[in-house]
Structure 1
Amino acid sequence: MYRLLAVDDDPAVCRALFDYFSSRGFFVATALSAGEALRLSQTPPPFDCAVVDVLLPDQSGLKLCQAIKETGAAVVFLSALGSEDDRVQGFLSGGDDYLCKPYSLAELEQRVLARIRARQGTRAQQVLRFGPVCIRLDRRQVEVEGRPLELTCSEFDILVFLAQHRDAPYTQDAIYRAIWNQPGLDGTHTVQVHVAQLRKKLAAALPEHSLIQTVWGKGYRFSPPPTA
């Protein structure tokens, strides 16, 4: 599940972006100001891409872009400023793409996906391999030692999220926000149940190694099996 940050001072634009990209399977967070966007962008887990309006009330989107890029996210500008100089300034500030208003949401989606894939490496990111464990993102399939592992959609999404962000542990709240896209709700029990079931299936397929480990006081982390 890709994570998108939408930044625009118009609530109607943010709502349209939230509704559209959520329906397309993205996790979406929205911000009406640069300050709010900066806070969200620095709160783990990281975003894959940010869609940023150039004209924001508290700071230029061009300056905000530089801070967001430091988190590893791609940046696509949306702006009513469509002159050649405006577009050039967008790219010079670090933007990965620049789309003028009015725009097609379908086209914006394809531009966002293109920027994410370009940053991650299109083919390499379709398959995650960790020793005997193979996670096929495009097919939403998991294989352990060549045998398919049947997972629910939520179990698969949790496994992929932890595998893609394996450098750090994530709390149950962070996982809930990333997978279910419902900030503000207590999803602790939901995450606990799904992680327990996921662990049970993984342990049956690979009993010699615990792929999802608990870091006490910090959450869960993905632990790749040792390579021979």
Structure 2
Amino acid sequence: MTASRGLVLIVEDERYIADVQRLYLTREGFGVQIETDGEAGLAFVRRMHPVAVVLDIGLPGMDGIAFCRALRDADDWTPIVLVTARGEEADRILGLELGADDYLTKPFSPRELVARVKAVLRRASGPPGGAVTRVGRLSIDTAARTVHSDGEPVELTATEFNLLAHLLRNPGRVLTREQLLAQVWGYASYRDTRMVDVFVSQLRAKLGDASPIRTVRGVGYSTAGPCP
């Protein structure tokens, strides 16, 4: 089969796991490259610009956290799906805070991995649109996928942008964490709603006092309406 969906990089030091992941991704039309350590994986991303990275945290040498930090520090926002072992919650949350887009906990179904890769690519492309919305000191252009605060650009990941845009498309409506996981991430069922809190926290940190996101305690999040 000729790959048509783009090239995915798998950074995984357990060869059997990497081979299974490659098998399922290639069946779905992706090209796949496997690297077994973080430094080689990082060099490959910079050279070949894959559409997504499936990144194990527990790598020899440069681990997944250092890989993620190095990529984002270089202003490279290639979608990343973290793969973690059970008991690595602190590393998982840190990875999301550094700009990873999603994660899976071992053991997981290879079909679930494929679904997650497709989901992060959908979020990276974003919904169609072209309107510029202004809320307070913010302006968001859904066609250009840009955000400005007081006229200055704010760099957001694809997932951060989509979360902010979705909240702004529903002004005044309180959205639960489960609803946001379904509507932004595309998950019909997902037990770890803390991921939403992590991304909201990242948005608030980047937007500062201009953030329009409000917490409704015990329920979820909402935003004010656009400026007239």
TM-score, normalising length: structure 2: 0.50
2:121 corresponds to 1:103: no
Percent identity at matched positions?
Answer: 30
Deviations 1:7-56 (A, max 9, x none): 01111111111111111100111100011101111113x11110000011
Q: Which residue matches 1:58?
A: 61
Q: Which residue matches 1:77?
A: 82
8 Å contact from structure 1 (residues 79, 100) kept in 2: yes
Q: Which residue matches 2:126?
A: 121
Deviations 1:82-134 (A, max 9, x none): 4543331221121111110000111111111111111122457xxxxxxxxxx
2:92 alignment partner AA: R
1:65-214 map, 5 Å: 65-69=68-72, 70-123=75-128
8 Å contact from structure 2 (residues 84, 105) kept in 1: yes
8 Å contact from structure 1 (residues 68, 75) kept in 2: no
8 Å contact from structure 1 (residues 41, 71) kept in 2: no
Query: Which of 9, 31, 37 in structure 2 is aligned with 1:27?
Result: 31
2:6 corresponds to 1:2: yes
Quote the RMSD (CA, aligned, Å): 1.7
Unaligned runs of 5+ in 1: 125-228
Rg larger for: 1
8 Å contact from structure 1 (residues 34, 59) kept in 2: yes
8 Å contact from structure 2 (residues 24, 114) kept in 1: no
Deviations 1:144-195 (A, max 9, x none): xxxxxxxxxxxxxxxxxxxxxxxxxxxxxxxxxxxxxxxxxxxxxxxxxxxx
Q: Cα gap change, 1:71/1:84 in structure 2, threshold over 3 Å: closer, same or farther?
A: closer
1:41 alignment partner AA: V
Matches of 1:86 and 1:34, distance apart in 2: 16
Secondary structure, counterpart of 1:62 in structure 2 = helix
8 Å contact from structure 1 (residues 48, 72) kept in 2: no
1:103 alignment partner AA: F
Query: Which of 36, 40, 45 in structure 1 is aligned with 2:44?
Result: 40
Secondary structure, counterpart of 1:43 in structure 2 = helix
Q: Cα gap change, 1:32/1:94 in structure 2, threshold over 3 Å: closer, same or farther?
A: same
Matches of 2:57 and 2:106, distance apart in 1: 11
Q: Cα gap change, 1:4/1:122 in structure 2, threshold over 3 Å: closer, same or farther?
A: farther
Secondary structure, counterpart of 2:47 in structure 1 = coil
2:53 alignment partner AA: A
Secondary structure, counterpart of 2:8 in structure 1 = strand
Q: Cα gap change, 1:123/1:107 in structure 2, threshold over 3 Å: closer, same or farther?
A: farther
TM-score, normalising length: structure 1: 0.50
List structure 1 runs of 4+ shifted beyond 4 angstroms.
none
